[in-house]
Structure 1
């Protein structure tokens, strides 16, 4: 299963999620940002290859659908509601990501 994690600048939240799930058997993961200044910018190819897209905030879902309307058809997109208040691999951020993402993955599998 291919997972894509999306935040604004691809600096803290989505790279943390990618790091958490990187070495789990059966999962292929990547991360990107919606902003032009993102460390890794979201592309149509990333969306096309994703089975599930996890976005950190509602605004990321809106931007992704606006910027890639054709690619977003029939895609599963899940809003995690995680604010941009944490650093990379922050303990609280890791716990929130694991709780939320694990819950969604259990429902999907």
Structure 2
């Protein structure tokens, strides 16, 4: 069974969609992305949180919002914080490098 990774940032415009796109090429996992803001491109909802095995937040504030808004849906799920600030555009080469580097230890071997 493939593990499901949900990537989360604020607006779901640059960081989390980049992560979703670059890791969607992997055949050993399923990926999706969402944003914590109500006006995000794809606003995070309970269904997405329940779908995920691992939730990957770009910053601590995202983890905090997820924990506050989806207390029951989280239900002991692992939430990883990558510590990637909102300094990058969609598919920025530095962002891709950072994502690959920081996610290496969280993916199946």
- 1:13 is matched with 15
Matches within 5 A, 1:65-104: 65-104=67-106
> Which TM-score applies when normalising by structure 1?
0.95
Matches within 5 A, 1:12-91: 12-91=14-93
The Cα RMSD (Å) is 0.9
Question: How far is 1:12 from its partner?
Answer: 0.2
Q: Per-residue displacement from partner, 1:15-71 (whole Å, max 9, x unpaired)? A: 000001112112111000000110000011101110101000000000001111101
Distance 1:48 1:81 in 2: 23
> Which TM-score applies when normalising by structure 2?
0.95
Look up the SS of the partner of 1:70 in the other structure.
Answer: helix
Distance 1:72 1:6 in 2: 14
Distance 1:18 1:3 in 2: 9
Q: Which runs of 5+ in 1 are unaligned?
A: none
